[in-house]
């Protein structure tokens, strides 16, 4: 009887340890998700898949906690994560539909939502990138308004 009881206790302790490790891992993801983003409008320069970075030129002053750190006309590099969970990857939307970093062409206007990078305090991490279509692109896609 005692060996069965000991097995149950060990099993319960092991389950608690695994649950604690899982909670600690997801807590860091949740903390990043709760952090307030800064939004900037920028011109897309390039995406470097090997370095997992994008380079943008800031077009308008930003909104949010890090807004003062980027100036209009400044070329800036952002770290990106093209794959992963919703909480960890960089999301891309083209006209409101899911896209990829490789879908964005140089010269496009984008809205970038970023936070300080958790891995490097001097870097910035792009949480979300929205591509803004021009009036001409909207007309081509949906037809001219009457």
How many helices, marked H, and strands, marked E, lie in the chain? 2, 7
pLDDT in tens, 73-129: 999 999 999 999 888 999 999 988 999 999 999 999 999 999 999 989 899 999 999
**pLDDT for position 96:** 87
The residue with greater pLDDT, 18 or 133, is: 133
- Tally the domains of the chain: 2
Say if residue 25 is in the same domain as residue 58: no
> pLDDT band for position 137 (50/70/90)?
confident
Mean pLDDT of 42-66: 96
Q: Are residue 7 and residue 49 in the same domain, yes or no?
A: no
Q: How far apart are CA 85 and CA 38, in angstroms?
A: 21
Same domain flag for 11 and 67: no
The CATH number given to whatever domain includes residue 112 is 2.40.50.320
**Domain contains 144:** no
- Whether residue 23 is found in the same domain as residue 70: no
The answer to whether residues 74 and 29 belong to one domain is: no
Domain that holds residue 54: 37-137
Strand-pair category, 91-94 with 97-98:
antiparallel
User: 41 in a domain, yes or no?
Assistant: yes
Mapping DSSP to helix (H, G, I), strand (E, B) and coil, where does residue 75 land? strand
Query: Cβ distance 93 to 130 under 8 Å?
Result: yes
Beta strand extents in the chain (DSSP E only): 38-48, 53-63, 75-79, 91-94, 97-98, 109-116, 124-132
| 145 belongs to a structural domain | no
Task: Indicate whether this model's pTM tops 0.85.
Answer: no
């Amino acid at each position: 009887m005692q060996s069965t009881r000991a097995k149950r206790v060990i099993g319960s302790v092991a389950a608690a340890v695994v649950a604690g490790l899982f909670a600690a891992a997801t807590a860091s993801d949740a903390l990043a998700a709760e952090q307030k983003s800064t939004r900037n409008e920028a011109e897309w320069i390039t995406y470097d898949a090997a370095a997992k970075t994008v380079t943008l030129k800031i077009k308008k002053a930003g909104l949010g906690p890090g807004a003062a750190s980027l100036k209009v006309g400044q070329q800036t590099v952002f770290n990106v994560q093209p794959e992963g969970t919703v909480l960890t990857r960089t999301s891309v939307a083209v006209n409101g539909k899911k896209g990829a970093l490789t879908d964005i062409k140089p010269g496009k206007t984008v809205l970038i939502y970023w936070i300080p990078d958790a891995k490097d305090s001097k870097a910035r991490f792009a949480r979300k990138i929205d591509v803004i279509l021009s009036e001409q692109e909207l007309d081509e896609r949906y037809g001219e308004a009457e």
